Amino acid sequence: MSSASLFRGAHSVQKRFLNLHEHQSLSIFKQFGVTVPKFSVVTKIEDLDKAISDLGVEEIVLKSQILAGGRGLGTFVENGFKGGVHVCKNHAQVKEYAGKMLGNTLQTKQNALKVNQVMLMEKFEIVKEKYFAILMDRGSGGPVMIGSKIGGTSIEDIAHENPDAIVRMPVNVMEGLNDAKALEMATKMGFEGPQAQKAAESISGLYRVFMECDSTMVEINPFSELKDGRVIVCDAKVNFDDNAEFRQQDIHSKRDYTQEDSREVEAKKYDLNYIALDGNVGCMVNGAGLAMSTMDLLKIYGAEPANFLDVGGAAQADQIKAAFSILQNDPKVKAIIVNIFGGIMRCDVVATGIVQAAKELGLKKPLVVRLEGTNVEAGSKILNESGLKIEFIADFSKAAQRAAALAK
């Protein structure tokens, strides 16, 4: 349910941006003066009694904490229990449903992830639901706030059916968001009277989160007015820029690696630029441009890349080994292509890394290697004398064509 598709020139949220659980985002919001519901988080069934007592309410909304959308419509793989979000009428029901969620895998439309924690949230009666988001906009050269008088549903559907329902308000990054602008945004979203002022205060807090925490997106759906007069953030999705980790160490320490692709986690340990895809040819390349060209050629020859993997311009043998291991252990990969242009990176270092990895890990899949540039002769000699079934092909196009054929 991303707002990035609502306007041209916006940054889309990249897969490797830090993504926090809902309860983690709400905790950060509280620090910046944003009004959020009362909630508790548990990882073990035996902690439920205390969490329920801390909330002090009878009816509780129980939410599975996984990094995926569509939790409410998901199904648990192990026991067939329907729904990762439930409104529980009493404490006994909370315990029953939590027992069916914790430790089990929730299958959603996006993916299947294990539920290691659940959030207990106070149940409240919503009077009005709005939508609100902040992200960067190339068109205006800075942050843009996006809102709608209608929330709680797919914002893309709202934008498609009624484009005029979407409010866009750029913010001058040098001037920041003042109180008047925040109140104007709240009013345009349909908040009135005292609720407009309350909404404006939370909007100001959300803008501070976006800017001060190096966020790439803050999305609230719904941003709600309650029957008791409160205006609260009911559901949150927040992403943070990985490149700002050195400034935001506390936030990045909250990263839940159990919810991420294990291959991407392993690649990050070795400073490899890796993104998993759905194809059948594993790619190990240096340089983003060459990597994209390699992926394009594979598609032209009838194959699909299984990943984007840029080992960088100065990779060492241990990084080459790590990259090779990731590709070898991917069950979708039927063949591997290594395509290195040796500028700063030496072809003999790459070849040594490949041979070491193949011997230590076992060469289980067809491997095509194309090297060009610094020490290419030494690199090709290392490969040819390795005694391994490695196909060295100097021509770029022929190497891609051969890898595609081996994957069939």
- What one-character-per-residue DSSP string does 227-281 give? TTS-EEE-SEEEEE-GGGTTT-HHHHTT--GGGS-HHHHHHHHTT-EEEE-S-SE
Q: Are residues 399 and 281 in the same domain?
A: yes
**Looking at residue 331, what is its pLDDT?**
92
* Residue 192 annotated to the active site: no
Has residue 104 been placed in a domain? yes
Last-in-domain residue among 234, 252, 270: 252
207: left (phi over 0), alpha (psi -120 to 50) or beta: alpha
| CA atoms within a 13 Å half-sphere pointing along the CA-CB vector of 384 | 11
Q: Are residues 244 and 281 in the same domain?
A: no
Has residue 25 been placed in a domain? no
**Looking at residue 235, what is its pLDDT?**
82
In sequence order, what DSSP letters do the residues of 350-371 get, joined into one string? HHHHHHHHHHHH---S-EEEEE
* Residue 96 annotated to the active site: no
Q: Are residues 162 and 279 in the same domain?
A: no
Instruction: Return the CATH number at 160.
Output: 3.30.470.20
Cα-Cα-Cα-Cα dihedral sign, residues 289, 347, 397, 266: negative
- Under 8 Å between Cβ of 330 and 307: yes
- Measured between its terminal Cα atoms, the distance across the chain in Å is 36
Q: Tell me the residue ranges of DSSP E strands in 156-227.
A: 166-170, 215-226
Q: Are residues 177 and 267 in the same domain?
A: no
Q: Are residues 356 and 374 in the same domain?
A: yes
**Looking at residue 104, what is its pLDDT?**
96
Number of domains in the chain: 3
With CA atoms as reference, report the closest residue to 207 among 142, 254, 138, 121: 142
Angle at 288 between CA 284 and CA 291, to 5 degrees: 40
Q: Are residues 13 and 87 in the same domain?
A: no
Has residue 112 been placed in a domain? yes
**Looking at residue 365, what is its pLDDT?**
93
Which residue of the set 219, 225, 270, 274 is catalytic? Answer: 219
**Looking at residue 6, what is its pLDDT?**
41
d(CA 89, CA 107): 25
Instruction: Return the CATH number at 98.
Output: 3.30.1490.20
**Looking at residue 314, what is its pLDDT?**
67
With CA atoms as reference, report the closest residue to 119 among 43, 29, 226: 43
- Under 8 Å between Cβ of 95 and 13: no
**Looking at residue 398, what is its pLDDT?**
97
**Looking at residue 256, what is its pLDDT?**
84
Q: Are residues 10 and 145 in the same domain?
A: yes
Last-in-domain residue among 91, 122, 153: 122
**Looking at residue 151, what is its pLDDT?**
81
Per the structure, the complete domain to which residue 308 belongs is given by: 261-406
Which residue of the set 131, 207, 274, 301 is catalytic? Answer: 131
**Looking at residue 285, what is its pLDDT?**
92
Q: Are residues 53 and 143 in the same domain?
A: no
Q: Are residues 311 and 286 in the same domain?
A: yes
Q: Are residues 269 and 327 in the same domain?
A: yes
Per-residue pLDDT of the chain (408 residues; tens, 9 = 90+): 444 444 333 333 334 568 889 899 999 999 999 999 999 999 999 999 999 999 999 999 999 999 887 898 899 999 999 999 999 999 999 999 999 999 999 999 888 999 999 999 999 999 999 999 999 999 889 999 999 988 877 777 777 777 778 999 999 999 999 999 999 999 999 999 999 999 999 999 999 999 999 999 999 988 999 999 999 998 888 889 988 999 999 999 988 878 777 788 778 887 888 988 999 999 999 888 999 999 999 999 999 999 999 887 666 778 888 888 899 989 999 999 999 988 777 888 888 888 988 898 888 899 999 999 989 999 999 999 999 999 999 999 999 999 999 998
Has residue 8 been placed in a domain? yes
